[in-house]
Structure 1
Amino acid sequence: MPVTLHVWRVPRRKIGAVMLRRALTFLQKKPDKVQFAKFLGTGTGDSFGPGDSDLTRWAALIVSSSRIELPEWDRLAVAKATVDLTPLTSRGTWSGRTPFGEPPGGKHDGMVLALTRARLRPARALTFWRAVPPVVREVHAAPGLLARFGVGEAPIGWQGTVSVWRDAADLTRFAYRQPEHRAVIARTAAARWYAEELFARFAVDGIAGDRTVLGWLEEGQTEV
């Protein structure tokens, strides 16, 4: 099932309208072709605390049988990017569901997007936040990283990251060879940070719009 990531940049004067639109969108009945949808706040992904939030950028992740357009959101935005994705691997659950099914994996030579999402256990949150800074320093310096930002369903405790990589090899090198990231992976089971978690990897089939909305490391427009 195809996956689409919509990301919008909105002016500060319209933040209230965005909050209302998000509430109304959740109340609307989803079209039959939509299998899974989440509207998400964003942040830098550097700390995952309230100060990390960016109220001028919002995202929607939609799994559907065909492209779902969101014109009401588009009209609120001053910039937008849309990323078309095909799931490569997925592990874990989101709101008790496996939204991307069981992808077969396989080799992919182009750009890839990694999605992490977790619901923190409140009693474990502090130790998790303390483990974040060294990993953030590693990811910012990682070869092949093209874009990165944080996502969340709430300012605290419901959080994740979106990152775009030049290819799967660059992502794999970061995930399994950087010492701080490997140490966090090793601690995860014993630390019991997460009440629920999901890790997914996607082939990037296309990017349309303003890639700076995605936190691209180089300025400019792109059509891929």
Structure 2
Amino acid sequence: MGTEMQTVSLSFFRFATPLSRLWALGMMGAARFSLPRIDGLQFWKLCGSGTGEGFTPIPNTSVYAILAVWPDLDHARSALAKEAVFKRYRAHASEQWTVFLNPYSARGAWSGQSPFVEESPAQIGPIAALTRATVRPVVAAQFWKRVPDISGVIGEDKNVLFKIGIGEVPLLQQITFSIWPDSRSMAEFARNNGPHAQAIRAVRDGKWFREELYARFRVADEVGSWEGQSPRILKDIAA
């Protein structure tokens, strides 16, 4: 497969010291001035993360993420390697990992935009799932009551290769991101009549979200390490 397809980079950074965490928090504001100046960057979001399995309302002050959309894989790799803002993040972080993704399914909107172009062919092998939603404030408490049960089920699923909860605005603008060995295993989890399926029904019946987006991606590449090792993503791709 060529590298000319739209590519999404999702970069995770871990900050080990109080000073570096303070720097990362400040960059949630400061990086907004640097990212729009990068040539070819089509869409971007700065995110914090949750504790535990990741899908919790309690922030994890040591982990931050940058999602960026590029015209192709080569452009994404080059920008992340050369642009000053990404260099600064790597210099302050104790660990960093980036996964490169090609969209093959997307519906909904993010900040009023449709950022992902469905260019990738039918997927064989590891896939990533991203759900992003703006929660209506009046139902935020109900939403977060559901999350611990969903988080536990995801954590127990032996098929999930990677999972994390990130967000733009605490409690209200949330993103769940997970990687699965294939579309079948992800679909089985989604169809299971457990907390996840029940929460989806509650969302639809109660109109909990003011804006929502659901996207699926082919895993194209990765760089760096997380928790001291490379997640099993590329091992599965190469198998």
| TM-score for the superposition, normalised by structure 1 | 0.88
Consecutive aligned runs of 4 or more in structure 1 exceeding 6 Å deviation: none
Cα displacement (A) at 1:143:
3.3
1:195 and 1:48, CA in 2 relative to 1: closer, same or farther beyond 3 A?
farther
Structure 2 residue 10 is the aligned partner of structure 1 residue 5 = yes
The answer for the alignment partner of 1:20 in structure 2 is 26
Contact between 1:48 and 1:159, CA under 8 Å: does it hold in 2?
no
The answer for the alignment partner of 1:94 in structure 2 is 110
The answer for the alignment partner of 1:209 in structure 2 is 224
Contact between 1:138 and 1:178, CA under 8 Å: does it hold in 2?
no
Cα displacement (A) at 1:104:
5.5
Cα displacement (A) at 1:179:
2.7
Task: Find the partner of 2:69 among 53, 59, 63.
Answer: 63
The answer for the alignment partner of 1:215 in structure 2 is none
Structure 2 residue 157 is the aligned partner of structure 1 residue 152 = no
Contact between 2:137 and 2:172, CA under 8 Å: does it hold in 1?
yes
1:132 and 1:167, CA in 2 relative to 1: closer, same or farther beyond 3 A?
same
Unpaired runs of at least 5, structure 1 = 213-218
Q: What secondary structure is seen at the aligned counterpart in 2 of 1:38?
A: strand
Q: What secondary structure is seen at the aligned counterpart in 1 of 2:154?
A: helix
What is the alpha-carbon distance in structure 2 between the residues aligned to residue 202 and residue 47 of structure 1? 20
Unpaired runs of at least 5, structure 2 = 1-5, 81-85, 235-239
Q: What secondary structure is seen at the aligned counterpart in 1 of 2:169?
A: coil
Letter in 2 for 1:48: T
What is the alpha-carbon distance in structure 2 between the residues aligned to residue 183 and residue 147 of structure 1? 23
What is the alpha-carbon distance in structure 2 between the residues aligned to residue 202 and residue 18 of structure 1? 27
| TM-score for the superposition, normalised by structure 2 | 0.83
Q: What secondary structure is seen at the aligned counterpart in 2 of 1:32?
A: coil
Percent of matched pairs sharing the same residue: 28
Cα displacement (A) at 1:148:
0.8
Q: What secondary structure is seen at the aligned counterpart in 1 of 2:45?
A: strand
* Structure holding more helix per residue: 2
* Structure holding more strand per residue: 1
> Could you say what the CA RMSD is over the residues aligned between the two structures, in angstroms?
1.9
The answer for the alignment partner of 1:117 in structure 2 is 132
